[in-house]
């Protein structure tokens, strides 16, 4: 009994002597609990809500379409290929509608808008998910030509802007949601080519869109995935395209990198992707679903342990630190 009393006295003395720390921990705990409760609230009327998703042939878009369909929402799934649209339709309910859409073609987007307008009617569009994207060509900047940048930017950035501007009238009717898929590479540029540029652009576009649309009741969220196993991170596709880039380089440029640089670079890419890429893409689609169905969606969602614990924290550190880390991941030219 005396021992227990002494222990309690000691704990009280410690808490009083560290009053500021105790208050800070208490406030942090209250804030965490409040955030958890706040984020658990969901909107209702799923059976009255339409969500339009781009890039549903595979990967995040395909899984999200099936996920939302299972929740009872009306999903309008845009695919690039007829095969992708047919495969998705075969495993979903009759509520889900597919359409063909190329986000680099304004006429295709216009036709998609007309299709969606007919489906949603006066209710408007509850959700727009800009998910369609590509990664290649990626590689050292010197290996690129202008068209290599535009191939990626046209899909990942200009396509996002074109689709969003076209669908804003429908979103304003429903006071809906825009969910844009960026990346941790929109926070930290690791590699040359258009991919990092496009994702930085998506971040900036989404921020300006969010501020401009707040007064109309539209909420904008950004998804920042780490590395996941999808077509965008396919090692086979990346390696094949890297060989194309390397093969067309002038001999003097190849010589400046050294005889073994290309093979070392490919091995480094394969090693990094093998360690970092998670097969559980539902970590990303759960963030997308929350952004669409929560009463209080977040502005940004980081998905994956590498995004939360490594890449995003690294993006806040001084440049010499991130430069050191990136240089450790890739080989050096012979010079």
Residue 217, SS3 per DSSP: coil
Alpha-carbon gap, residue 87 to 110, rounded angstroms = 24
Q: Token digits for 11?
A: 């704990």
CA proximity to 133, closest of 160, 161, 165: 160
Can you spell out the DSSP letters for 81-147?
A: SHHHHHHHHHTS-TT-EEEE--TT-HHHHHHHHHHHHHHHGGG--SEEEE------SEE-GGG--HH
Active site includes 10?
Answer: no
List residues bridging with 302 in a β-sheet.
224
Residue 255 CA: distances (Å) to CA of 225, 241, 250, 328, 335:
36, 20, 9, 22, 10
Handedness of CA 274, 275, 279, 283 (dihedral sign): negative
* Catalytic residue chosen out of the listed positions 10, 41, 195, 265: 195
Active site residues per annotation? 195
């Amino acid at each position: 009994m005396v021992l227990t009393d002494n222990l309690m006295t000691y704990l009280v003395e410690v808490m009083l002597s560290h009053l500021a720390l105790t208050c800070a921990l208490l406030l942090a705990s209250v804030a965490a609990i409040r955030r958890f409760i706040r984020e658990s609230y969901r909107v209702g009327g799923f059976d009255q809500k339409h969500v339009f998703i781009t890039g549903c042939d595979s990967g995040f878009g395909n899984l999200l379409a099936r996920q939302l369909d299972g929740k009872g929402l009306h999903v309008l799934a845009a695919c690039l290929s007829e095969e992708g649209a047919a495969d998705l339709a075969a495993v979903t309910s009759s509520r889900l509608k597919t359409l063909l859409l190329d986000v680099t073609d304004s006429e295709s987007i216009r036709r998609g808008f007309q299709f969606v307008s007919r489906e949603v009617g006066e209710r408007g569009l509850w959700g727009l998910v800009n998910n369609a994207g590509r990664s290649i060509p990626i590689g050292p900047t010197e290996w690129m030509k202008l068209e290599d940048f535009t191939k990626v930017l046209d899909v990942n950035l200009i396509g996002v802007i074109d689709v969003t501007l076209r669908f804003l009238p429908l979103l304003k009717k429903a006071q809906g949601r825009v969910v844009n898929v960026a990346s941790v590479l929109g926070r930290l540029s690791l590699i040359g080519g258009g991919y990092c540029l496009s994702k930085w652009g998506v971040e900036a576009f989404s921020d300006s869109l969010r501020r401009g649309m707040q007064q109309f009741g539209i909420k904008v969220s950004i998804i920042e995935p780490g590395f996941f196993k999808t077509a965008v991170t396919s090692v086979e596709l990346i390696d094949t395209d890297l060989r194309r880039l390397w093969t067309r380089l002038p001999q003097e440029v190849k010589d400046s990198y050294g005889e073994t640089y290309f093979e070392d670079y490919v091995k480094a890419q394969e090693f990094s992707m093998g360690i970092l890429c998670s097969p559980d893409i539902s970590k990303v689609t759960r963030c997308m679903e929350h952004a669409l169905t929560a009463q209080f969606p977040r502005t940004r969602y980081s998905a994956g342990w590498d995004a939360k614990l490594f890449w995003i924290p690294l993006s806040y550190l001084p440049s010499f630190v991130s430069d050191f880390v990136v240089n450790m991941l890739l080989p050096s030219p012979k010079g």
